[in-house]
């Protein structure tokens, strides 16, 4: 959520920054709500002063043995008036908060201006032979390239079975393919915990709405979520009906990992927090149209290893570069060609101030595809969650939150299948994955 203090002090700056994201901020509406809030606060303070003055007058009259009944009657009306003002103030605050919950984060000054992904700026690209080479193109194969669907069908990737069980945009894996998928997730977790200092976590896959409001998925992106309801018909041990509640399947473990600090004050000594988790992710893909209907690129259910850092504000951009390097390291160890893109203002996520995307090379499509997105949300999520830390002066201050894929397991599997394919349809297992595969070095049709 945007900083309300910044809105009051420098609304022109906020308007200009949101305009960079292509959003027009309703200044008149904000000013009207602010004026109403200030008027109620002034009236409240005046009434509170009057109450104090009446209390003193009552005490004085009583001490002098005089009749204080008229003044007492006047004072008796004050609490009800204060209650009415409190309710009005709460109503205005709720309207303002509900509105601000739908406004995206402000972009960092280093984020390039742009409308969509065409305006993103390449930072660097990396190749298994030669490392970082800005002008190099990925190597071509000396045989006809197959996509991961055609290759996978002979290796245990069964899309027809998934369609029978659940419908389109789901996957079913069997045998060596399922093991390779698991190996990727284990390798990612082991790398992030042993090499990068993250604490491995296991989190719920279903969360309440308050959790999603905190990290920014609600209210704006409800249609992107899958949800279930509980309660309504059940009764508790006292015979009371349990209220109906919507519960949501997580679209990323960012939601649960970041929310571990919700409504809490983190000790300064505990920062930075580095957390990682492997989880399924559930997305309705609302608005995706007919894009990527073939294969595993865009699924309703997929696995991801997520990285989250909770840090002091003055270190968050250093942490962003660090987390991007952590995601890069996975691709480097797997020896997969990739490039790093700095997203423009029009292509960033709702809660991000600055985002890097890692894009892996997909030979069958002869293009780069996103495999990781690493973002600094600054204090945007922390304000929504009420997540603070005690600074060196002993005052509570909002933490900064960062999240990144480290990596999307399904898309990494796609990249491994296609980049390691052989002319006979077999797949060479990347060297770093072989210990997780029981020493298997190739998957054969």
pLDDT band at 184 (very low <50, low <70, confident <90, very high): very high
How are beta strands 121-127 and 338-342 bridged, if at all?
A: antiparallel
Cis peptide before 407 (omega within 30 of 0): yes
| Cα 162–chain centre separation | 28
Specify the pLDDT at position 289.
Answer: 63
Binding site per annotation, positions for ATP: 283-285, 370-373
Task: Tell me how crowded residue 318 is: count the other CB atoms within 10 A of its CB.
Answer: 12
State in Å, rounded, how far the first CA of the chain is from the last one: 51
Question: From the CA atom positions of the chain, what is the Rg in Å?
Answer: 28
- Model-level pTM? 0.91
Query: If you search the block for the tokens 């009446």, which residue do you land on?
Result: 54
Note the pLDDT tens digit of each residue in 265-319: 999 999 999 999 999 999 998 766 667 778 899 999 999 999 999 999 999 999 9
Residue 81 and residue 215: Cα distance in Å, rounded? 37
Note the pLDDT tens digit of each residue in 232-246: 667 777 877 777 889
Residue 255 and residue 312: Cα distance in Å, rounded? 19
Please give the average per-residue pLDDT across 352-367, as a whole number: 97
Which residues contact residue 40 at a Cβ distance below 8 angstroms, ignoring those fewer than 6 apart? 85, 88, 89, 92
**Both structure tokens of 139:** 């190597």
Please give the average per-residue pLDDT across 132-140, as a whole number: 87
Binding site per annotation, positions for L-serine: 252-254, 283, 306, 403, 405
Specify the pLDDT at position 287.
Answer: 64
Is the pLDDT assigned to residue 429 strictly greater than 90?
Answer: yes
Which residues contact residue 177 at a Cβ distance below 8 angstroms, ignoring those fewer than 6 apart? 152, 155, 156, 157, 443
- In contact, 206 and 249? CB cutoff 8 Å: yes
- In contact, 259 and 130? CB cutoff 8 Å: no
The SS3 call for residue 414 is helix
Please give the average per-residue pLDDT across 415-438, as a whole number: 97
Specify the pLDDT at position 172.
Answer: 96
pLDDT band at 71 (very low <50, low <70, confident <90, very high): confident
Specify the pLDDT at position 229.
Answer: 87
Specify the pLDDT at position 235.
Answer: 72
Query: Going from the N-terminus, what domains does the chain have, and what CATH number goes with each?
Result: 26-101 (1.10.287.40), 117-443 (3.30.930.10)
Q: How many degrees, rounded to 5, is the angle at CA 24 between CA 22 and CA 30?
A: 145
Residue 150 and residue 179: Cα distance in Å, rounded? 19
Binding site per annotation, positions: 252-254, 283-285, 306, 370-373, 403, 405
Note the pLDDT tens digit of each residue in 3-54: 989 999 999 999 999 999 999 999 999 999 999 999 999 999 999 999 999 8
Please give the average per-residue pLDDT across 371-394, as a whole number: 97
Task: Of 358, 361, 359, give the one whose Cα is nearest residue 415.
Answer: 361
Is the pLDDT assigned to residue 183 strictly greater than 70?
Answer: yes
- Output the average pLDDT for the chain: 94
Is the pLDDT assigned to residue 140 strictly greater than 90?
Answer: no
């Amino acid at each position: 959520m945007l900083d309300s203090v910044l809105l009051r002090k420098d609304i022109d700056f906020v308007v200009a920054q949101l305009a960079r994201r292509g959003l027009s901020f309703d200044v008149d509406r904000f000013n009207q709500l602010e004026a109403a809030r200030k008027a109620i606060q002034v009236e409240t303070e005046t009434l509170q002063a009057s109450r104090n003055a009446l209390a003193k007058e009552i005490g004085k009259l009583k001490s002098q043995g005089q009749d204080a009944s008229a003044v007492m009657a006047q004072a008796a009306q004050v609490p009800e008036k204060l209650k009415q003002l409190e309710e009005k103030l709460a109503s205005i605050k709720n309207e303002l908060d509900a509105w601000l919950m739908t406004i995206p984060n402000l972009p960092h000054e280093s984020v390039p201006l742009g409308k969509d992904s065409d305006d993103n700026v390449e930072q660097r690209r990396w190749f298994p032979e030669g490392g970082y080479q800005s002008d190099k193109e990925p190597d071509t194969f000396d045989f006809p390239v197959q996509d991961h669907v055609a290759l996978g069908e002979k290796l245990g990737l069964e899309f027809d079975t998934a369609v029978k069980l659940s419908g389109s945009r789901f996957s079913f894996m069997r045998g060596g393919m399922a093991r390779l998928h698991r190996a990727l997730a284990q390798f990612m977790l082991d790398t992030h915990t042993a090499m990068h200092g993250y604490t491995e976590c296991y989190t719920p896959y279903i969360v309440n709405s308050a959790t999603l409001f905190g990290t920014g998925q609600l209210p704006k992106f409800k249609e992107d979520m899958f949800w279930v309801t509980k309660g309504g018909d059940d009764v508790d041990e006292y015979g009371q009906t349990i209220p109906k509640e919507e519960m949501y399947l997580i679209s990323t473990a960012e939601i649960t990992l970041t929310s571990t600090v919700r409504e809490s004050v983190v000790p300064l000594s505990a920062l930075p927090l580095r957390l990682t988790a492997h989880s399924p992710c559930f997305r309705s893909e609302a608005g995706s149209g007919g894009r990527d209907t073939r294969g595993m690129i865009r699924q309703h259910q997929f696995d991801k290893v997520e990285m989250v850092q909770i840090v002091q504000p003055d270190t968050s951009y250093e942490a962003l570069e660090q987390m991007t390097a952590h995601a890069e390291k996975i691709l480097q160890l797997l020896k997969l060609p990739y490039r790093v893109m700095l997203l423009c203002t029009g292509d960033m996520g709702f809660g991000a101030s600055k985002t890097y995307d890692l894009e892996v090379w997909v030979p069958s499509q002869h293009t780069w595809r996103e495999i990781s997105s690493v973002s600094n949300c600054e204090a945007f999520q922390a304000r929504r969650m009420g997540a603070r830390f005690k600074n060196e002066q002993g005052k509570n201050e909002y933490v900064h939150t960062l999240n990144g894929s480290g990596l999307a397991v399904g898309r990494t599997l796609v990249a491994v299948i296609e980049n390691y394919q052989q002319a006979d349809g077999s797949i060479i297992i990347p060297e770093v994955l072989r210990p997780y595969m029981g020493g298997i070095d190739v998957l054969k049709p």
